[in-house]
Amino acid sequence: EPSPQRYFSSLEAGRASLAYFSHSGSPGAQPFLEQIESSAEALQDYGISVVKVNCPKEDVSRYCGKENALRKAYLFRGHMLIREFPTDALFDVDSIVASVLFALLFNEVKYIETLTDLQNIEQVLKGKSNMVFAYVPATGTAEHRAVMEAAFVYGTVHQFVLTTEAALLKATGSDDPDVSSAWLLFCHCQKATDPAQPCRRTPLGQPLTLLNIHRHLKLMGAPLVTEVAEDPEKVSTVHLQLGLPLVFILSQKETYEADRRTAEFVAWKLLGKAGVALLARDLVDLNVLHRSNVALKTPDEGMPIQYLVLEDTDEVITLVEDKNKVKQIQEEEEEEEEDEAEKENNNQDIQDDQVVEAVSRDKKRELPLEQILVLTEENFHSSLSSAARTVVLFYASWEAVSLAVLRSYTEVADRLKGTPGVLFSLVNCWDWPGICSQENVTQFPTIRIYKEGKQSVLYDGMWGTEEMSSFIMLSRVSCPLKLATMDEAEGYLRGEFPSELSPYTHTSLLGVFSTATSEARKAFEEAGNILSGHVRMGMYLEDDSMALSQKYSVSPPALLLAQSRAQSVEGITLAKQSTQDLVQMIRHELLDIFPEITVQNLPQYLQLRKPFLILFSAGDISQMENKEEMLKVAKGRAQKTFVASWLNLKKTPVGHGILRTYFATMPSLPVLLWVNLHAGGQVFKFPSEQSITEVNILSWLEKLRAGLETPSSTLSEEDWKPPLPAYDFLQMMDTAMPELPLHNAHPPGNTPAQPLAEIPERDTATQEEPSQDTAAEKVGIPGRDLRGTAPRLAARDKQGKRHSEL
Amino acid sequence: LALILCIGSLCTESSTTFLYHDYCIIGAGPSGLQAAYFLQRAGRDYVVFERSHAPGSFFALYPRHRKLISINKQYTGKSNSEFNLRHDWNSLLSHDRRLLFRRYSRDFFPDADTMVRYLEDFASLLKLQVQYNTAIVHVMLEKNEQAWNGHYFLLTDQDKKSYKCSSLLVATGTWVPNVVNFPGSEYVEGYETVSINPEDFAGQTVLILGRGNSAFETAENILGVTNFIHMVSRSRVRLSWATHYVGDLRAINNGLLDTYQLKSLDGLLEGDLEDLAIIKDKKGKLHITLRFYLENRNISAGIDSITLPQDELDNFATRAPYDRVIRCLGWKFDFSIYNRSLRMMPGKGNIRKYPQIKPSYESRGTRGLFVLGTASHSVDFRKSAGGFIHGFRYTTRAVHRLLENRHHGVPWPSTVYPITQLTNSIVKRVNEASGLYQMFSVLADIILLREHPKTHTTATTGAKYPVGVLAELEMQTGRKAPNGLFIIIMEYGRNFSGADKDVFYYNRAVGEAQHAWQSNFLHPVIYYYKRLPTEREMRLRPPDWPLPRPDAIHHIVEDFLTDWTAPNAHILPLRRFLENCLGTDLRNFFAESCFLFAFTRQKLPPFCWQGYMRMQGLVGSEGLRHHAVQAGLLQDYTLTDSSGDRPPHSHNRAQDQLLRDQVISIRPLQHLVNAKDE
């Protein structure tokens, strides 16, 4: 604490010092003084002295005189004033050290604000020296201090560049910039020669501390690939000393050049994570498999070197990265195990049913029921007869699945509102069990469509808005629909007649009958009853002209199948089929040859119980050549033995889940798979290097059949066990019961009064029940008890003859 | 076969005076009419004999003070007719909605005349075959190899007219007053004839023998005008709200307890009536003494020579003389009309007022003779409601169903469900079934598993079967239980009910599902057996257990509102129990999940198998699927299009976190559940 004169006279040229001027006893700067005092030691390490100068009262010189000068600290180098700091910028040791070094290292650390600045610096540095680029969210922070301290040491070796601009952070290519944390890149500009390319960068993966920066710079400074010609057990590099693994690429004289390139490639990838050494195995006598090509030495002492046979450089990288991961995972798992042990009993009361949970999360939302009539026991029958078609949803207000369907049902009612002759209604079976049992509703939910209040059709399709709407609309029209004229029949085949149905189905079936063929007609009509709501079926009775059958060159009885999209009509002659066969045939005809598999239609194709040849595509394939090739396969000879299909991942995103289950990593799309869903559950992947053509697919299928391919995956055979245990009340009762006084009804106090010999006389029935009564008598109110007041009577045991009512 | 038999028997007996019916019912009271209703609906040949000119003659006289103590609840806030029967103690079962008791009376405790009117309507509106003014005075058996039970029942009425039946349903109730004999019992007036006009008791001192509802009802009527009333009986008073037995003293009649405990001169005493003696003094006052004193005295010596207890013990409790002694000791079954060959024996101990019957309500002595109604109460005496209309209307139906199966080959009615509906069907039954609720611990719903649990099991449920004859299930119902069974029953807590129990202690109500087995109030219990218990196991079952030890048991936690539909507290633990009994996963899944399983697993959970694979997948609305995703129970693949490398681990963590958060938000609510009861 010298005086101003003494201070200025003591300043040495080239030495930096931080001075703070104060009048003795001025109290306001006290906290600041504390900070600056504690920073003195840190600054000492950098040869910077910290001085508090005591101004005499009368001093009016430059530093002591002005009031506001006293709120500042001054940095001198020699006699030269370098910077003056407002004291509020020096709030703690970190900020003091950072600010002072920042001022002193003005040339060594470049502060930039724009990307152009950065690029300019990079350009200049190329071929000369490396760059350390740091981003700190604010100056004066601990990270800022760490960067400045590192710059003090390495500032002459590397060019340090600092920014506080978040925009720059984004520009330097980190995908997910977290602007609130600091970030440091090592840019290898010294070896960069191409002026067009930016320098290679290696980010510091750890938090910005002086130690981590030091370690990082040290690793960056180490040679990229160390060439080793001695026993790897004895080798030690910077990496091992810093606790990182060392990867050896085992090299031979013949392949040296390639190995060298591999080693460098790997080294770049692993920079900062592991060291890479090239081991010339010709020069070292190694007792390892000849096939081994990689060795891994870990920094842990006593761990033997692992020799491995790897095929890919990626594997080397994952090997190292997983080593780190394994550690992390192990730690996490340990945590988890603890959690699990803890959870074991608590998890049971957590809802794990997706439907129940979803419905209960939605329960507070009021459902839009304006379009739906709520039926009761009073209005049920009258409402049914009030409309041509009454759709009734039977549900239970406590049952999750039916509540889920109710939500879709409201959407259907809203979508179809105003459709003439259709009334939407619902019955809560919890309120009106009578109606539900009368209508034979045993499952929730159930949808029935009543025709003029009389017979009803049970809805048996998917509980989706689309499917329900389509069913309701299709069942408005009789099935099969009798077509009177040729025009109607033609319009029907084009999907234009009846017009209200056109949006709901793309396939039309037309039965063509001559009047003579009544048996086939009857079967067709019955099939129509069964398929009502699912299929568009029409019927045309021809007169003698046979115009329709001639046009499509079929002879009645026949079935015309029109795909409105394909605009083609296919004719099928009907033999003497039973109704069931006809239904089966129609269902089969409705299936596509090369369908797009969706959540909704998969069950139809699964019912064929055939393996699937399925193409997973990222989007629509209608424009792709894959489709043509696949279609050829689908139409080919082999079609009977499998289902050729495709899946649009955009439309059916859950397909990602399927691929993720089959493959550890997402394969490149499109990917063609053979999935044996019904037998063995094996999944085969069409080789990605081959193009998807009919020839390739067929020859691949041949190989599959011959057993020459290995499956990429096999579907789990696991049973659907209970997800969690139930409460074991039986066991709880067993453990708790011994403590419970089960036989407290037999009071021990009563026994001495009963002569032993009399016990057998009592019959078993009284023994159990009235024992409580005797207990009650014994403890009855003294003085009020008749027997208590006549003691001699008490001795007479008359239990056997007691009046049982009392 | 039955038809041929009856024609045959008609032919052979046509020469005699016997009138033949397949079923004869004695008594047109509530249970007789109830049985007639079921027989009529089933189209059976039956007749009901009634000694009076109208149905329900017991109710024409009793209760003397005309107030029924069975509740007639008009409103429950629910429209569910089955549920509402849980709180309707007077209606009989029928399909006719006009015949609900609440349409007859607006009183919570209705007048007995209303019951008479109701029973008249029940018989006439449903056109039941009742033969009035026919008192059956004798019943005997006629051996016949071809008869259903190896014998016919021959009934004779007061006019010596004879009737012949294949099956006899005794619905006579208990109407013979219990009488106790002791010296001086001739001075005792009976409940059945005592005056009901309070004026007649003005300024009198009354002793009432008995401690049932009729005794308290009598006391209640005269409480305000007497000097004081004393009540004496052997056992302590049993309050129905403490014992959970409706036959015990109901709170509506217990005014005397109040005045006794407040020392307002009335009082209760315990003592054996057979030790008593009553002596009338010259002024007509009745003195209580003990039979013991009389035995050694010469009675002819006159009243003064008899020792009274107060001579030796001058503070003897009942030393004050009484003006009247009234006997209110209840009724017993009329055993007198049955021939010895029918072996109609009284029960033992406290059920000696009832005939001995099996848990199937069939007489122990005679095959084909069933006891219905109040007389059948020995099965659940002091336990459940089988002695009362709201109980025996169900047991009568059970008997009818047993008979349908035995004689007509009609198996017990049941419904077949896929296994995915198992949880639902149980939840439905425990929430609305009235028979289970009224006849707790006696009637049960039984679910029989039909196929191997590993495959796609379906279940059959049979409703309201008497658990006492569980071992005979296959024989009695015509249904098989090859793969195990569930039994759904309602129970009170094991140590909760009882005359000396404090039923208001703190924390008596259990709120948490994991402690459900300690529930005290009526709650559903589900027993699981891998095979049908044998008769021996039924006999050796633990005391107080309605059923033998099961392979697994589940209690659904008691509920303040008796509404067991809470997804997490009631349904989830039930599902876990069923899952673990069946060894399968009974969760529901959206179609999308089933789709994923279909492609990635060789086996599917039952819900997907039963629904999705049969084209009945639960597609679910957008909003619901979003909720499921948020809950972490469904994965949203649209977001993760290309980032297949996102570690699935972190996702799970997020899930768990979500779940945990949600649980925390629920906990305080559970606390409320407990507090509500207090």
Q: What tens digit of pLDDT does each residue of A577-600 get?
A: 788 888 888 888 888 888 889 999
Helix (H/G/I), strand (E/B), else coil: B627: helix
Q: Do B555 and A729 touch (CB under 8 A)?
A: yes
Directed axis angle between helix A93-104 and helix A142-154, to 10°? 40
Residue B310 or B288, more confident: B288
| Long-range Cβ pairs for the range B338-346 (8 Å, 24+) | B338/B139, B339/B138, B339/B139, B339/B140, B339/B141, B341/B140, B341/B141, B342/B139, B342/B140, B342/B141, B342/B366, B342/B369, B344/B369
E strand or H helix at A474, and its extent?
Answer: helix A465-474
Residue among A467, A599, A723 minimizing CB distance to B592? A599
Averaged pLDDT for residues B321-327? 93
Q: Which CATH number fits domain A4-91: 3.10.110.10, 3.40.30.10, 3.30.930.10, 3.10.270.10?
A: 3.40.30.10
Helix (H/G/I), strand (E/B), else coil: B114: helix
Nearest CA in chain B to A669: B642
Q: Do B274 and A411 touch (CB under 8 A)?
A: no
* Predicted confidence band of residue A516 (pLDDT cuts 50, 70, 90): low
Ranked by mean pLDDT, which of A389-403, A792-806, B635-649 comes out on top? Answer: A389-403
Quick check: B327 contacting A, CB < 8 Å? no
Question: Which string of b and e fits B481-517 if b means at least 16 CB within 10 Å?
Answer: bebbbbbbbbbbbbebbbbeeebeeeebbbbebbebb
**How is residue B671 written in tokens?**
């606390």
Rg (CA), chain B: 30
**How is residue B184 written in tokens?**
């001086």
Q: Do A462 and B211 touch (CB under 8 A)?
A: no
Residue B411 dihedral angles phi and psi, to the nearest 5°: -65, 160
CA B224 to CA B201: how far, in whole Å?
Answer: 9
Amino acid at A187: C
Alpha helix (H) residue ranges in B342-467: 389-408, 422-432, 434-438
A685 bridge partner residues: A673
Which residues of chain B make contact with A785, given a CB cutoff of 8 A?
A: 269-271, 317
Alpha helix (H) residue ranges in B318-441: 389-408, 422-432, 434-438
CATH code that applies to domain A107-220: 3.40.30.10
CA A81 to CA A61: how far, in whole Å?
Answer: 15
- The answer to whether residues A393 and A408 touch, using CB atoms and an 8 Å cutoff, is no
Averaged pLDDT for residues A276-301? 78
> What is chain A's length?
806
Q: Do A721 and B637 touch (CB under 8 A)?
A: no
Give all strands (DSSP E) within B10-63, no chain letters: 19-26, 46-49
Quick check: B511 contacting A, CB < 8 Å? no
Residue B19 has pLDDT above 50, yes or no: yes
Q: Do A783 and B317 touch (CB under 8 A)?
A: yes
CATH code that applies to domain A477-590: 3.40.30.10
Question: Which string of b and e fits B642-666 if b means at least 16 CB within 10 Å?
Answer: eebeeeeeeeeeeebeebeebeeee
- The answer to whether residues B288 and B322 touch, using CB atoms and an 8 Å cutoff, is yes
- The answer to whether residues A776 and B270 touch, using CB atoms and an 8 Å cutoff, is yes
* pLDDT at res. A174: 61
* pLDDT at res. B10: 44
Nearest-neighbour CA in chain A from B249: distance (Å): 13
Q: Do B624 and A377 touch (CB under 8 A)?
A: no
Residue A329 has pLDDT above 80, yes or no: no
Residue B649 has pLDDT above 50, yes or no: no
* pLDDT at res. A566: 55
Nearest by Cα to B87 from B100, B75, B73? B73
CA angle B655, B661, B667 (to 5 degrees): 135
Quick check: A411 contacting B, CB < 8 Å? yes
* pLDDT at res. A74: 85
Residue among A357, A604, A661 minimizing CB distance to B628? A357
* pLDDT at res. A432: 93
* Interval B57-112: pLDDT, tens: 999 999 999 999 999 999 999 999 999 999 999 999 999 989 999 999 999 999 99
- The answer to whether residues A538 and A525 touch, using CB atoms and an 8 Å cutoff, is no
Nearest CA in chain B to A325: B647
Give all strands (DSSP E) within B467-609, no chain letters: 485-491, 523-529, 552-555
Q: Do A463 and B617 touch (CB under 8 A)?
A: yes
CA B449 to CA B461: how far, in whole Å?
Answer: 9
Residue A65 has pLDDT above 70, yes or no: no
The CA-based dihedral angle spanning residues A101, A107, A110, A111, taken in that order and rounded to the nearest 10 degrees: 60
Directed axis angle between helix A400-415 and helix B622-630, to 10°? 140
Residue among B211, B624, B663 minimizing CB distance to A407? B624
Superfamily of domain A222-322: Glutaredoxin (3.40.30.10)
Which residues of chain A make contact with B267, given a CB cutoff of 8 A?
A: 784
Helix (H/G/I), strand (E/B), else coil: A82: strand
* pLDDT at res. B138: 95
Q: Do A666 and B638 touch (CB under 8 A)?
A: no
B162-170 and B205-209 strand pairing = unpaired
Quick check: B160 contacting A, CB < 8 Å? no
* Interval B444-488: pLDDT, tens: 998 888 775 444 456 666 667 888 888 888 888 888 878 888 999
Which residues of chain B make contact with A719, given a CB cutoff of 8 A?
A: 454, 583-584, 603
What domains does chain B contain, in order, with CATH numbers? 19-175+332-404 (3.50.50.60), 185-329 (3.50.50.60), 414-582 (no CATH), 591-624 (no CATH)
Residue A615 dihedral angles phi and psi, to the nearest 5°: -105, 115
* Predicted confidence band of residue B192 (pLDDT cuts 50, 70, 90): very high
A568-573 and A536-542 strand pairing = unpaired
Which A-chain residues 141-160 have CB contacts (< 8 A) with chain B? none
* pLDDT at res. A567: 67
Q: Do A350 and B514 touch (CB under 8 A)?
A: no
> For the ranges A152-166, A275-289, B229-243, B599-613, which has the lowest average pLDDT?
A275-289
B324-327 and B205-209 strand pairing = parallel
Q: What CATH fold (topology level) applies to the domain A601-714?
A: Glutaredoxin (3.40.30)
Residue A781 has pLDDT above 70, yes or no: no
CA A502 to CA A573: how far, in whole Å?
Answer: 26
Quick check: A717 contacting B, CB < 8 Å? yes
Rg (CA), chain A: 44
| Omega within 30 of 0 (cis) for the link into A670 | yes
Nearest-neighbour CA in chain B from A740: distance (Å): 9
Averaged pLDDT for residues A315-320? 78
Mean pLDDT over the full length of chain A: 78
Domains A375-472 and A601-714 share a fold: yes
Q: Do B82 and A433 touch (CB under 8 A)?
A: yes
Quick check: A86 contacting B, CB < 8 Å? no
* Predicted confidence band of residue B56 (pLDDT cuts 50, 70, 90): very high
**How is residue A764 written in tokens?**
């078993």
Residue ranges of domains in chain A: 4-91, 107-220, 222-322, 375-472, 477-590, 601-714
Superfamily of domain A375-472: Glutaredoxin (3.40.30.10)
What's the DSSP call for residue B567? I
CA B187 to CA B326: how far, in whole Å?
Answer: 9
Q: Is A51 left (phi over 0), alpha (psi -120 to 50) or beta?
A: beta
Which residues of chain B make contact with A434, given a CB cutoff of 8 A?
A: 81-82
Across the A:B interface, residue pairs with CB atoms under 8 Å apart total 379
Amino acid at B577: F
Distance of CA A753 to the CA centre of its chain: 75
- The answer to whether residues A228 and A166 touch, using CB atoms and an 8 Å cutoff, is no
B90's CB contacts (< 8 A; 6+ apart) are B68, B70, B72, B101, B110, B115, B118, B389, B390
Place of tokens 């500042």: A72
CA B61 to CA B656: how far, in whole Å?
Answer: 68
Residue among A603, A681, A727 minimizing CB distance to B573? A727
